[in-house]
Amino acid sequence: MKYYDKLIFEISRPGRKGYELPKTDFGKDAFSEMPSQLMRGEEADLPEVSELDVVRHYTNLSNKNFGVDTGFYPLGSCTMKYNPKINEEVAAMPAFTSIHPLQDEKTIQGALELYWNLQHALANIAGLYEFTLNPYAGAHGELTGLMVMKQYHLANGDTKRTKVIVPDSAHGTNPASAMVAGLQVVEVKSKPNGSIDVEDLKPLLDDTVAGIMMTNPNTLGMFETEIMEIAKLVHEAGGLLYYDGANLNPLLGKVRPGDMGFDIMHINLHKTFSTPHGGGGPGSGPVGVTERLAKFLPNPKVKKNEDGSFTIITDENSLGSISTFLGNFGVMMRAYAYILTLGKENIRNVGPMATLNANYIKESLKDDYLLPIEGVCKHEFVFDGLKDKSTGVTTLNVAKRLLDYGFHAPTIYFPLLFHESMMIEPTETESLETLDEFIEVMHKVAAESREIPELVKDAPVTTLVRKLDETTAAKNPILTYRQLKAEQA
């Protein structure tokens, strides 16, 4: 163990400083006009450290982390693609980072133009009429989109429509967003191949249905071939179709949700459009709609005037505001840079490459891992654990063993359709060599499971921390140093 591994947290020493401010005559009097309730009553309890202590602390912590920049990250449904560094350079341009949302809009025309251009690029990609970029994440986009759906029915005086149909394979955020939007969730079954059972759907479609939430390709990575039929049935029943676009990557530039009959969708800029994600950091979940729903999109909105200038407007038909100002602007800049870097031509190659990579891994591993659904998948696929279940090695064990070999684990135990789900998504940005290394290690873990199962069950053995007690971590999370100190006291 290196000395700094022991120094993870308490490095504060009374009186140690990392800064020296110049003397100033801007004394305590300067605060005399500050309302007293806003004044700090006692000194802030901050760590006292030198600049070098802080630099080492964070650099060493970051070295213990795993990210797309350190290794292969086949986390299914999460589209952990490479985040091009040119995006960071663009997003760090002072002309953008030093502006304030409350500045006179005449002075932020460039920022508004970027918002407007990105909105229209997404509308083109999605085959929809208008986008809002205000939501902060995919789930936030879902909530916003469902609020649009609800607002639309209410505006039609259709107060009975409170049901949202969600497939049993859906991402957990779908039913959660529907509940938060004040709608009721009705589950529709999947067929053994993972696609929606149209016969199971038909009896659910009545005049209480607000709409259906779907993702295509579905959670098993399979394209819903009956989507046009489903869209017709839902529309005939007076409902709307919501597209969970977190899985748009394989269709990018090839197939448009609007053309499939979807009325509302969200896109995860932090998945499909290469902006960084993970750790709950800033994301962006733009929501697109058809023309008849555009007026309900949240405020504020960016409009282009006849003279080519841009204005921020508040639309009285809107469902209201769902974010501060116009959302996570830095994330939008990264996504816009990504779209412009690829251009119309290259954006079409993203989906086929992601699809090829996923099928390559799937076909290479299906002799060792149980493939419940045969056939060509899109950008991701699901194994139902190891093929040989006699050793008692679980999907969790395999996932932990992968960490020993320097790979991030795939998504595990999702979707809930299988007991030992292992959802693998390589994305288009990985090289053939990386895919081959991953395949080799997956075979090796399968062999270990047969020959020395205890080793796999004990994994990880080479990581800084061994297997964690996940129940306690979830039930009693200690997330701050202050909490830890209180716990130890």
CB nearer ligand PLP, residue 166 or residue 293: 166
CB nearer ligand PLP, residue 137 or residue 227: 137
CB nearer ligand PLP, residue 275 or residue 397: 275
CB nearer ligand PLP, residue 112 or residue 267: 267
Site for ligand PLP, residues 74 to 113, rule: CB under 6 A: 77-78
Residue 188 to residues 169, 204, 419, Cα–Cα distance (Å): 9, 8, 19
CB nearer ligand PLP, residue 9 or residue 82: 82
Interface stretch with ligand PLP, choices 136-144, 394-402, 412-420, 468-476 (CB under 6 A):
136-144
Q: Does 139 bind ligand PLP (CB under 6 A)?
A: yes
Interface stretch with ligand PLP, choices 56-64, 134-142, 317-325, 347-355 (CB under 6 A):
134-142
Q: Does 334 bind ligand PLP (CB under 6 A)?
A: no
Interface residue with ligand PLP among 285, 298, 410, 415 (CB under 6 A) is 285
**Nearest-approach distance from CB 170 to ligand PLP, in angstroms:** 8
Site for ligand PLP, residues 168 to 187, rule: CB under 6 A: 171, 173
Q: Does 167 bind ligand PLP (CB under 6 A)?
A: no
CB nearer ligand PLP, residue 380 or residue 420: 380
Interface residue with ligand PLP among 138, 221, 288, 351 (CB under 6 A) is 138
Interface stretch with ligand PLP, choices 65-73, 131-139, 326-334, 443-451 (CB under 6 A):
131-139
**Nearest-approach distance from CB 258 to ligand PLP, in angstroms:** 18
**Nearest-approach distance from CB 285 to ligand PLP, in angstroms:** 6
How many residues contact ligand PLP, by CB under 6 A?
A: 14
How far is it, in rounded angstroms, from Cα 164 to Cα 204?
10
Interface residue with ligand PLP among 247, 328, 394, 397 (CB under 6 A) is 247
Q: Does 246 bind ligand PLP (CB under 6 A)?
A: yes
Interface residue with ligand PLP among 122, 126, 137, 181 (CB under 6 A) is 137
**Nearest-approach distance from CB 139 to ligand PLP, in angstroms:** 3
Interface stretch with ligand PLP, choices 96-104, 119-127, 241-249, 306-314 (CB under 6 A):
241-249
Site for ligand PLP, residues 263 to 282, rule: CB under 6 A: 268
Site for ligand PLP, residues 206 to 225, rule: CB under 6 A: 215
Which residue is at the shortest CB distance from ligand PLP?
Answer: 138
Q: Among 177, 444, 400, which residue's Cα sits nearest to residue 287?
A: 177
Q: Does 196 bind ligand PLP (CB under 6 A)?
A: no
What residues have CB less than 8 Å from 63, skipping those under 6 apart?
none
How far is it, in rounded angstroms, from Cα 165 to Cα 241?
10
The long-range contacts involving 444-450, CB below 8 angstroms and separated by at least 24 positions, are 444/405, 445/398, 445/401, 445/402, 445/405, 446/368, 446/369, 446/386, 446/387, 446/388, 448/401, 449/386, 449/388, 449/391, 449/393, 449/397, 449/398, 450/388, 450/391
Q: Among 251, 193, 270, which residue's Cα sits nearest to residue 226?
A: 193
Site residues (vs ligand PLP, CB under 6 A): 77-78, 137-139, 171, 173, 215, 244, 246-247, 268, 283, 285
